[in-house]
Amino acid sequence: MSKMNPFKATYGGDDWSPRTRSLQQELGSLWGACGIDSEWAPLKKVLLHAPGEELKASLDDYDAVQMLASLDVAKARSQHEDMAAAYEKLGIDVFYVKPDETATPNQMFVADLMAATPEGVIIARPASTVRAGEERWVARRLADMGVPILKSVRGTGTFEGADLMWLRPEVAIVGRGLRTNDEGANQVESILTEIGAEVVEVDLPYGSMHLMGMLRIADKDLGLAYPNRLVHRAVEAAKHCGLEVAFVPLTEELRTGSAFNFVCIGPREILMPAGNPRTRSYYESLGIQCHTVDVSELRKAAGAIGCLTGIVERELVR
C-alpha cells in the first residue's frame, strides 16, 4: 500500500517522529536526572566546590572578600571533605564544580549560584562584584551533568539561589533584599510561573543575607524559623501551605554556631553543623533526626552546610 503522505519524514511525512514528552518527563533519560519541588523530600544529588588556595585571600583582608574572619586553609579544606563524605555516607551523589581557573574565595557557596526547579535549574547572578562570574562555572558543570538550564538571570537583575525555596510543589517563595533585587526577583518569578508555580515574594530585613537564613523546611508540614527575622508575610505563606512554623530558640549557637544553616536529607532528617547541642536537642524534640559534621572553620567565611551545598535533585513530590 502506498503512503498517503507524499512528504519525506524530515518534512512531516509518515515517518516523522514527533516529540511529545514534556521536559520533566525527559529528565533521567534524554536529560540528566535532576529537579526539586520541595525542600524536604529525599535528597539524591548535590553540587559542591572543593575550596583550595583561593581561601588565602581571607588572610589579607577577610572583610574585603565578604568573610567574617581569616581561615585556616588546610582545616577548611579538610572540613569540606568531611562534609562531602557525610553526604556520600548518607547515599547522596556528590558532584564538584571544578573551575578551569583559580576560583574566587566564595566559589564554595554553591547554593547561592543556582536554584533547582522541577524542570531544571535557574542560574543565579550574584549581587556582589566579589562573586561576579562564579555562576559561569556552575552553569558549565550542570550542563556537563545534563541538567537543563531554564534561565540565567540577566540584565541588571541580581538573584542568589539561597533566596528561593519551595513551600509546596506548586508554591515557591522568593526573598528580595541585599542579594536579590526587584529585577532578579521578577525574572525568577516569570520562569517559575511559566512552569506552573505560584510565587510568593517577601522583603528581607535590612542587614540580612538570604531567605535561607530565616526559613528552613524539615518536612512537608514543618518549617523552622529564625526568631525575629522571618517576616510576617513569609510566616503566613508557610502556614497557608500547611506548614507548622516552629521558631528555633535564640541562643549563641544560633547566632554564632550556624546551627540554623543545615540541609534537609529527607523528611525530618538533616545534616547540621556539629557543636550545637542545645539546638540539636530542640530539633530532636520535633522528631528530626540530626547528622552532624564539623564546619567550624568554614563558617568563618559567613556560611555553613546549607550555603555550601547546591541542591541538584530530590525525589519529586508531584
Kindly write down the DSSP assignment for every residue of 111-173, as one continuous string: GGGEEEETTEEEEPB-SSTTTTTHHHHHHHHHHHTT--EEEE--TT--B-GGGEEEEETTEEE
Q: What pLDDT was estimated at residue 4?
A: 77
pLDDT digits (tens, 9 = 90+) for 5-37: 889 999 999 899 999 999 999 999 999 999 999
Do residues 143 and 63 lie in contact, with contact meaning Cβ atoms separated by under 8 Å? no
User: What's the pLDDT at 107?
Assistant: 98
**DSSP three-state, residue 189:** helix
Confidence band (pLDDT; 50, 70, 90) for 2?
low
Q: Are 170 and 317 in contact (CB under 8 A)?
A: no
How much is the pLDDT for 318? 86
Exposed e or buried b for every residue in 209-246, given b needs 16+ CB within 10 A? bbbbbbbbbbbbebbbbbeebbbeebbebbeebebebb
All domains of the chain in start order, with CATH? 34-314 (3.75.10.10)
Look up residue 4 and give its three cell numbers.
498517503
Give residue-wise pLDDT tens across range 137-176: 999 999 999 999 999 999 999 999 999 999 999 999 999 9
8 A C-beta contact, residue 208 and residue 176? no
The pTM is what?
0.96
Query: Cell digits for 44?
Result: 539524591
- Whether 109 contacts 295, CB under 8 Å: no
Q: What is the pLDDT of residue 125?
A: 98
CB 315 within 8 A of CB 40: no
What value does the mean pLDDT take over residues 186-197?
98
Across 66-79, average pLDDT: 97
Confidence check: pLDDT of 70 > 70: yes
Task: Encode pLDDT of 266-295 as tens digits.
Answer: 999 999 999 999 999 999 999 999 999 999
The pLDDT of residue 1 is 45
* pLDDT tens by residue, 102-150: 999 999 999 999 999 999 999 999 999 999 999 999 999 999 999 999 9
pLDDT digit string, tens, across residues 207-248:
999 999 999 999 999 999 999 999 999 999 999 999 999 999
Question: What is the end-to-end Cα distance of the chain in Å, rounded?
Answer: 46
